[in-house]
């Protein structure tokens, strides 16, 4: 989930500023030397002239005064002098940035090198080249959060919840989502092979009514999927009519065009006076917060959609935007294991206010907010700054949202083009109108 773009990275700014000034000093020194104004500074002179380089950090940046930045520079110097091959300063620099982000142990706090930052930004604009699958880390394992509709990933048979065991023969153990994205994405027409582990459907015990999983069934089925990359153009909102008087609005993700496209779809649906609305959030990995408040606003109006909690305290609340045009129309919200982040915010709000019956499977549990900030060199930092709570104060993060009616859609259902979750939604409308 992305939020505002305000800078919240003091420590990162510090090191970035130090190295940026060093590079700038060399360049400017060279320029003035050629112009005859002054001589170029030596490396030692540059370092002495930099504020913050030495035994103490810049004021107000560290609470632990025992930490000395001179050690950082000493390590830099030793690596440059003693490493048996030529060390790339660019790799060392970006590696240090990545290391700081990784040290927090949060899979959603990530530093992006310039190329990956551009790919990440492009994906939120709705077009990129790859296979069309959102991925994330769940239970310390790289997973498919959701294959996007009508993409190579979906056509190849990838499903929400699939484990990615290796990428082109490279193990994903300990791999971050951003490393995985950089390996999976690539030019249109090229191939990538994913080793996928898929847990079989739980086996029902003959002695109990509850669904249990046997030891044998707990072992994942492992299979290689060779997928040809393509240009992925993500249309974030689609309108269909599974029945003449039931409008189904599918939101595939919350990207830059979701608010305008959603409003257009809403107007189109209302023009036909629907008797029921299905909001399909299955395999929706999320996106921008402000787009989620637009979608939720069609039901909740200006009521609170989600609250933001930092360090145990509620610091902000976000209201829906727009008129609650669907408030009095019976609504079903379809969710599954691939419903994440902004999609969970919308589902949770409608469930809390009793404005939507949730049908499907428990959602992914990505209920934290990330702040995204760009650096001048094209790199960027995404930092988890808070967790989300539903209007009734329920935490989403690592927990997910339990549907009101649990219905699975198995791999066999996909293969046979069956949709028991949609069938249950239509059945729910039939029953609600006969009460």
Annotated catalytic residue within 195, 352, 371, 382: 352
- Does the reported pTM lie above 0.85? no
> Can you tell me the distance from the alpha carbon of 52 to that of 211, in angstroms, rounded to the nearest whole number?
60
Q: Is 366 assigned a catalytic role?
A: yes
Choose, from 176, 236, 307, 341, the residue flagged as catalytic: 341
110 forms bridges with which residues in the sheet?
382
Query: Using CA atoms, how far apart are residues 32 and 26, in angstroms rounded to an integer?
Result: 10
pLDDT of residue 416 exceeding 90 = no
Active site residue 224: no
Domain ranges of the chain: 10-87, 127-233, 237-434
352 has a pLDDT exceeding 90: yes
Q: What would the pLDDT profile of 334-348 be if each residue is shown by its tens digit?
A: 999 999 999 999 999
If you average pLDDT over every residue of the chain, what do you get? 80
What is the pLDDT averaged over residues 53-80? 72
CA proximity to 274, closest of 429, 91, 150: 429
Per-residue pLDDT, averaged over 318-333, amounts to 97
C-alpha to C-alpha distance for 178 and 192, rounded to whole angstroms:
16
pLDDT at 435 over 70: no
Is residue 10 predicted with pLDDT exceeding 80? no
Locate 314 and state its tokens: 């509620």
- Is domain 127-233 annotated with CATH 2.30.42.10? yes
Q: Which residues of 28-60 are buried (b: 16+ CB within 10 A; e: fewer)?
A: ebeeeeeeeeeebbeeeebbeeeeebeeebbee
**CA–CA distance, 340 with 283 (Å, rounded to integer):** 8
> Looking at the predicted structure, is the pLDDT value of residue 49 above 80?
no
User: Which member of 162, 176, 280, 366 is catalytic?
Assistant: 366
For residue 226, indicate whether it is catalytic. Answer: no
Q: Are 41 and 26 in contact (CB under 8 A)?
A: yes
Domain 237-434 in CATH 3.90.226.10? The answer is yes
Measured at the CA of 164, the angle between CA 159 and CA 169, to 5 degrees, comes to: 135
């Amino acid at each position: 989930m992305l939020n505002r773009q305000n800078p919240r990275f003091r420590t990162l700014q510090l090191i970035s500023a130090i190295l940026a000034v060093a590079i700038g000093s060399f360049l400017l020194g060279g320029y003035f030397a050629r112009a005859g104004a002054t001589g170029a500074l030596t490396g030692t002179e540059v370092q002495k002239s930099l504020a913050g380089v030495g035994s103490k950090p810049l004021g107000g940046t560290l609470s632990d005064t025992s930490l000395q930045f001179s050690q950082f520079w000493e390590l830099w110097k030793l690596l440059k002098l003693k490493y048996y091959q030529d060390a790339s300063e660019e790799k060392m620099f970006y590696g240090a940035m990545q290391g700081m982000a990784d040290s927090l142990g949060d899979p959603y706090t990530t530093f992006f090198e310039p190329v990956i930052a551009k790919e990440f930004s492009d994906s939120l604009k709705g077009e990129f080249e790859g296979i069309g699958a959102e991925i994330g880390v769940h239970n310390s394992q790289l997973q498919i959060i959701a294959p996007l509709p009508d993409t190579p990933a979906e056509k190849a048979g990838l499903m929400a919840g699939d484990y990615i065991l290796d990428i082109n023969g490279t193990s994903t153990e300990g791999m971050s989502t951003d490393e995985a994205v950089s390996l999976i994405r690539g030019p249109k027409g090229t191939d990538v092979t994913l080793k996928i582990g898929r847990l079989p459907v739980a086996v029902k015990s003959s002695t109990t009514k509850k669904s249990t999983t046997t030891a044998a069934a707990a072992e994942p089925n492992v299979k290689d999927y060779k997928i040809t990359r393509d240009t992925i153009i993500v249309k974030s909102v689609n309108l269909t009519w599974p029945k003449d008087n039931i409008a189904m609005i599918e939101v595939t993700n919350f990207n830059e065009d979701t608010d305008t496209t959603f409003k257009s779809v809403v107007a189109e649906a209302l023009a036909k006076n629907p008797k029921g609305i299905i909001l399909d959030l299955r395999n929706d990995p999320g996106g921008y917060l402000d787009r989620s408040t637009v979608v939720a606003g069609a039901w909740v109006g200006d009521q609170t959609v989600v609250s933001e909690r930092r360090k145990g305290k509620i610091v902000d609340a976000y209201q829906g935007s727009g008129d609650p045009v669907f408030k009095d129309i019976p609504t079903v919200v379809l969710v599954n294991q691939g419903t994440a982040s902004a999609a969970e915010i919308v589902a949770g709000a409608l469930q809390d206010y009793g404005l939507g019956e949730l049908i499907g499977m428990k959602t992914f549990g990505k209920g934290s907010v990330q702040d995204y900030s760009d650096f001048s060199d094209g790199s960027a930092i995404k930092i988890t700054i808070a967790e989300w709570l539903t209007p009734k104060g329920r935490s989403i993060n690592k927990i997910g949202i339990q549907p009101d009616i649990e219905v699975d859609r198995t791999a066999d259902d996909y293969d046979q083009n069956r949709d028991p979750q949609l069938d249950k939604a239509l059945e729910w409308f039939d029953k609600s109108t006969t009460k």
